[in-house]
Amino acid sequence: MIQFARYAPLLAAAGAHILLQCPAPLQRLFAASFLPPHGPLTAVITPVEPLPAVDAQVALMSLPHLCGTTLDTIPAAVPYLSTEPDAVALWDQRLGRDHRPRVGLVWAGNSAHANDRHRSMPPEALLPLLTSAAARFVSLQVGRQSPAALGDAGLIDASAMLTDFAATAGAVACLDLVISVDTAVAHLAGALAKPVWLLVPPVPEWRWLVDRDDSPWYPTMRLFRQSRLGDWNELIQRVSRALEVRAW
């Protein structure tokens, strides 16, 4: 949903009064990004709230087709999401600073996804990356596969404070880089114009295309593709080398 929320302000700019319905964890983020004074939408509501009378209803994922979007006309300007200044200041204080860049990590997505076995990695696959002194690592993983599986790897566990996407956006804003499998956090980082490295199988979902290491949807995104399906070890080695030279 984050990927296609960029279209809502475009429709509003064309003269429509837009009511954006979204899951509750996204409501605060979208309200901060799209409602006055930050944006042109009329309301951001959740499915449990009464839906006011409207003239038309459309799914966000249908908007690229209805707007005639091609690879060359994707509305790719970022950031199109906003953070709450107080949340950013709080996260900056929580995370602290030293000479190393802050790098956020997400290694697993929704377990109910049909392709989760190929999209998510076991947390242990990250251990070679975590031995690097090139960065301070922050876990943005929520919901499953606790960072406890990584033992004493020096990972900052932020999960308990990631209560919704607005909170996560505040954390992401304080990072220098996000490294993630194909999850909503990767979209969030891209929509915030944060450098993000996306770790994907050789043939990922349609939105990530093939035979390229960039994304027309997110200018700050770099794709790392597995050389062989299921081989996270070789991919993490490449990520580690890129991190050592700060290649973002």
State the Cα angle at 24 between 79 and 19, rounded to 5°: 65
pLDDT on residue 144: 67
Tens-digit pLDDT profile for residues 46-98? 999 998 899 999 999 999 999 999 999 999 999 999 999 999 999 999 998 88
Q: Rounded to two decimals, what is the model's pTM? A: 0.94
Q: How far apart are CA 153 and CA 136, in angstroms?
A: 11
Reference 163, options 24, 11, 64; nearest CA is: 24
- List where CATH 3.40.50.2000 sits in the chain: 85-244
In CATH, the architecture of 85-244 is: 3-Layer(aba) Sandwich (3.40)
Reference 197, options 173, 216, 223; nearest CA is: 223
For residue 208, pLDDT beyond 70: yes
Query: Between residues 97 and 172, which one has the greater pLDDT?
Result: 172
Q: How confident is the model at residue 149 (pLDDT cuts 50, 70, 90)?
A: low
Q: How confident is the model at residue 145 (pLDDT cuts 50, 70, 90)?
A: low
Which DSSP category does 173 fall into? H
Q: Which CA distances in Å does 198 have to 94, 107, 226, 228? A: 25, 10, 11, 16
Q: How confident is the model at residue 2 (pLDDT cuts 50, 70, 90)?
A: very high
Tens-digit pLDDT profile for residues 7-40? 999 999 999 999 999 999 999 999 999 999 989 9
112: CB partners within 8 A, 6+ apart: none
For residue 154, pLDDT beyond 80: no
Q: How confident is the model at residue 148 (pLDDT cuts 50, 70, 90)?
A: low
How many CA within 13 A on the CB side of residue 137? 24
Share of the chain above pLDDT 70, in %: 96
CB 95 within 8 A of CB 138: yes
